[in-house]
Amino acid sequence: MVDTATPRVRVPRDATAGEIIEIKTLISHDMESGQRRNGDGDLIPRSIINRFTCDFNGQNVIDVAMEPAISTNPFFEFMAIVPESGTFVFTWYDDDGDVYTDSKDITVT
């Protein structure tokens, strides 16, 4: 999945101090549930992203434990509080050990 897991994140460029902002994230990934069968009737092994986290300046915003029931191309929308300028770091953890990251800066005006 390494080649295809492309994160996309939407964060406002700026905010006022203490503002609560909306964040949307999407990562391209099959999220193979382990329930499907191939043409020969054999189960296709599970291969999913099992955890997603978002941190701001080293402090956690949200930490999601993900199961195979999360749809293909996992999408999350959530809220963060922005007390100061800084960086959001987004991390996705794959069953196969791969870790995908993205980050976005935000400026408090």
Partner 1 sequence: AALLPVASSAQEAVDAIIAEFTGGAEMGAEGLTLTTPEIAENGNTVPVEVDAPGAASILVLASGNPTPKVATFTFGPMAGAQFASTRIRLAGTQDVVAIAKMQDGSFVRASREVKVTIGGCGG
**Binding stretches for partner 1 (CB under 8 A):** 20-21, 33, 35-37, 55-57, 59-72, 74-82
- The CB-of-101 to partner 1 minimum distance in angstroms stands at 17
Q: Give whole-number Cα distances, 68 to 4, 58, 59, in Å.
A: 18, 28, 27
- Reading phi first (left if > 0) and then psi (alpha if -120 to 50, else beta), residue 39 is in alpha
- The CB-of-15 to partner 1 minimum distance in angstroms stands at 10
- The CB-of-32 to partner 1 minimum distance in angstroms stands at 9
Q: Which is nearer to partner 1, 6 or 75 (CB)?
A: 75
Q: Which is nearer to partner 1, 5 or 80 (CB)?
A: 80
Q: Which is nearer to partner 1, 77 or 98 (CB)?
A: 77
Tell me phi and psi for residue 53, to 5 degrees.
-135, 150
Q: Which is nearer to partner 1, 3 or 60 (CB)?
A: 60
- The CB-of-78 to partner 1 minimum distance in angstroms stands at 5
What residue type is 37 in one-letter code?
A: R
What's the rounded Cα separation, in Å, for the pair 76 and 88? 15
